[in-house]
Amino acid sequence: MSRTAERVLGIIGIVFTVISIAGGIFGAVIFRMMNTNAEFRQELEMDFYSDPAMTQGDIDMIFNILDGLGGFLWLLVVFCIISLVLNIIALIKIWNNKNPKLAGILFILAGLTGGILTLTSILLYIAGIMCLTRKETLPPGAYHDPVITDTPPSEDGMRPL
């Protein structure tokens, strides 16, 4: 059975995940530079102090949020790397139709770790569901149903199944 659709969705998922990893690393590095660069931080504080509506508590809260965002972006990068690894393993399992059930489960897990409702995760969910639900088609003339034949009953009066 051709699993081209699942492969294409998996490859697109890998591309989007790599882009997410690169963007997350870039954002985390920028936040880290903002927090460690004293001149930039002081200039930002001066801009906040120039606003009469801002209090010291508000400014401290903004800087705490910025510090937390940098850590959150690193956490996002870690989850995206886990998603990337699961996605690659799923593609290896599906490539020659080796183990489509395991690949479907791995695609779904990769979607969950890559983000619950992102475009990447939705594509991986679709690939996973396709892997789990698509059945191999039988060649013409092949049947799974047992063929009932008219055989005569045996000595005990019972017919074989």
Q: Where in the chain does DSSP place strands (E)?
A: none
| Residue 147 included in any domain | no
Task: Pick from 31-45, 80-94, 135-149 the range whose average pLDDT is largest.
Answer: 80-94
Number of independent structural domains in the chain = 1
| Residue 143 included in any domain | no
Contacts of 115 (CB under 8 A, 6+ apart): 20, 79, 83, 121
| Residue 153 included in any domain | no
Least confident of 20-29, 45-54, 100-109, 145-154: 145-154
| Residue 64 included in any domain | yes
Q: What confidence score (pLDDT) does residue 97 get?
A: 84
The mean pLDDT value for 19-42 works out to 89
The full DSSP string for 26-63 is: HHHHHHHHHHH-HHHHHHHHHHHHHSTT--HHHHHHHH
* Cβ atoms of 87 and 131 closer than 8 Å: no
| Residue 157 included in any domain | no
pLDDT of 14 above 60 = yes
Joined tokens for residue 19: 């882009």
| Residue 29 included in any domain | yes
Summarised one tens digit per residue, pLDDT across range 139-151 is 676 665 555 556 5
| Residue 146 included in any domain | no
Band (80; pLDDT cuts 50, 70, 90): very high
Q: Considering the chain, what is the average pLDDT of its residues?
A: 86
Q: Which residue would you say has higher pLDDT here, 84 or 136?
A: 84
Q: What confidence score (pLDDT) does residue 12 get?
A: 96
Contacts of 82 (CB under 8 A, 6+ apart): 113
| Residue 140 included in any domain | no
Summarised one tens digit per residue, pLDDT across range 84-129 is 999 999 999 998 888 999 999 999 999 999 988 899 999 999 999 9
For 101, the domain range is 4-133
